[in-house]
Chains A and B, each alone.
Chain A
Amino acid sequence: QVQLQESGPGLVKPSGTLSLTCAVSGGSISSTNWWNWVRQPPGKGLEWIGEIYHSGSTNYNPSLKSRVTISVDKSKNHFSLKLASVTAADTAVYYCATPSHFCSGGNCYWYFDLWGRGTLVTVSS
């Protein structure tokens, strides 16, 4: 079955750019699905960062939109996150995730049923 695995530097300097990759195994990133990033500061709740479709269409959280870029590399079967101008507030576990959906009565309901294990990124000098 499809699995997700995050990778990237665990330490980023303030004002630098956080860069992470999520490798998709057991399936194609070109399948009909959205590929997401979610983060969780230590001891805090979950925050949705954004998503990308395999075609390249994106949706971002407005709170991060000016600093976030999510991209997809079909040749490598992975998608990536870049977060610019980081501060200590960006220290978090970063998860990649992808949803399934359930359709009933003309409505489709999306839910995150596949997650990576998460990777801790610390912003510090």
Chain B
Amino acid sequence: DIQMTQSPSSLSASVGDRVTITCRASQSISRHLNWYQQKPGKAPKVLIYAAASLQSGVPPRFSGSGSGTDFTLTISSLQPEDFATYYCQQSYNTPRTFGGGTKVEIK
């Protein structure tokens, strides 16, 4: 199985801050990497697919980069509605695997 390691596991930030979350795969996955946002009691919502493509309807303050084993999700200016947990997920092969999550909290 491909292991996905996210860091940090949690962070505190203020509205307007630039936030960066990283995800590392245990082997090369090319650009087969997706990012999801999950709010309490809700299903995950895809933000970025194929490492850097913005899902329709997602604000452009979200961006993704990387390929191979190292990936980054960036929120350019954190908004109140962005406080949530973020997960990376590889779709290179099965079993599909997720990172452990990064909880973004209000400072």
Contact = CB atoms under 8 A, between A and B. Distances in A.
Contacts of B34: 111-112
Interface in B23-51: 30-32, 34, 36, 42-46, 49-50
A48 B32 contact: no
Interface residues of B, number: 26
Nearest to B45: A115
Contact of A59 (B42, B43, B94): B94
Contacts, number: 67
B44 A109 contact: no
Interface of B: 1, 30-32, 34, 36, 42-46, 49-50, 53, 55, 87, 89, 91, 94-101
8 contacts: A45-B87, A45-B101, A48-B96, A48-B97, A60-B95, A99-B91, A107-B31, A117-B42
Given A112-B89, A118-B43, 20 more contacts: A45-B100, A47-B98, A48-B94, A48-B96, A50-B95, A59-B94, A59-B95, A63-B95, A104-B50, A107-B30, A109-B31, A109-B53, A111-B34, A111-B46, A111-B49, A111-B55, A111-B91, A112-B44, A115-B43, A115-B45
